[in-house]
Amino acid sequence: MPGRSSSQPYDVIIAGASFAGLAAAQRLRGRVLLLDRQPIGDGVASACAAPVRIVRMMGAEAAVLQEHGMLVIHACGRRVAWRLPEPFCTFDYRAFCLEAAARTWAEFRRASVLGRDGSRVLTSAGAFAGRFLIDATGPRAALAGRGRPRYVAFGIESEVPLAVEPGLHFHFTPEVGDGYAWAFPCGQAARFGVLSYRGRTKLLPALGRFMARFGAAPARVHGGYLVTGWTPSVVDGVFAAGDAAGHCLPLSGEGIRTAALAGARCGALIQQVLDGRISPAEAEAGYRTFVATDRRRYRALLWANLVVLCLPRGWVGLAAAVMARPGLLRLFFDRYLAMGTTAATGSVDLPPGLRERDA
């Protein structure tokens, strides 16, 4: 279909076509414009591991490469296995995004988001007016601006064809003294990565040393910043979700689940406004409440993150072994996996497909 002219306002403009933006778009049935500087499915910056239920929520089961029932922590020769209370999976990012996008009614434009002027989104393809704006642009928060406080980690990853023991493996090794490394099997390949809690960016040597333990070397590398902080969820009328609002979790670095659930909640509330069921003020209040509900759990993870930074590597393994006791582990996962569950996660009707216009 031909694209709408920039002079005609949209009901909703979503900046960013990744996890949060696509989840929001799936809950919207008005005149919706989805913007991203890259084609949908390009620009992977994540390890692409998430609970299976989140992938199903997005209608992207076809993207799953391998399911995992175990989280394994390695520290100073100690190996501790935590059984996951629900299955996680590794998945293909491009396939995930394309499957999720096909379940929206949004019009897509490939354009860089430069900022905004009131309700107008300024892009490399011109300005577009929208009644509601959603910022899902990641760490740069192009529409909502950089709220505070923000804690920025940085990680890189490389995928190579190699067999790795099943499970999601986290390694607390000398290669990354201020973070961790990981090895995630994904079908016929494995993803190896390193993360610095302090946001150090020169991690390629550490990744090379870590992969050498498995007889491998980095191939194509991707990655980026992970922003936590639970920053303001609505800024001057702009709804923010995912890394744009600091929704990545401390300690684990998990951001897909929280981004998708925040986007889903955001989109569902705005659709209620479009349907005349609630007012814009009620939608803003509802979204703020959704974010505030998990603030205490977020702070607990942040304190745990700081403790891990201060502990010797050997003590991390000991702490993981203590946490592996069934009662403690169940208590931890009950609270950890509850974050974001007040979001709307119902199924969506399948539209005829994404309407795309490259600008």
131-184 pLDDT, tens digit per residue, is 999 999 999 899 998 655 578 899 999 999 999 999 999 999 888 989 999 999
pLDDT value, residue 186: 96
Give yes or no for a contact between 121 and 15, defined as CB atoms under 8 angstroms apart: yes
Least confident of 33-47, 144-158, 216-230, 278-292: 144-158
For residue 78, the cross-strand partners are 75
Pairing of β 10-15 and β 126-135: parallel
pLDDT value, residue 359: 46
Give yes or no for a contact between 138 and 32, defined as CB atoms under 8 angstroms apart: no
Task: Report CA 26 to chain centroid distance, whole Å.
Answer: 16
pLDDT value, residue 355: 55
Give yes or no for a contact between 256 and 53, defined as CB atoms under 8 angstroms apart: no
Mean pLDDT to the nearest integer, 21-38: 97
Count of positions (residues) in the chain? 359
Confidence of residue 5 (pLDDT cuts 50, 70, 90): very low
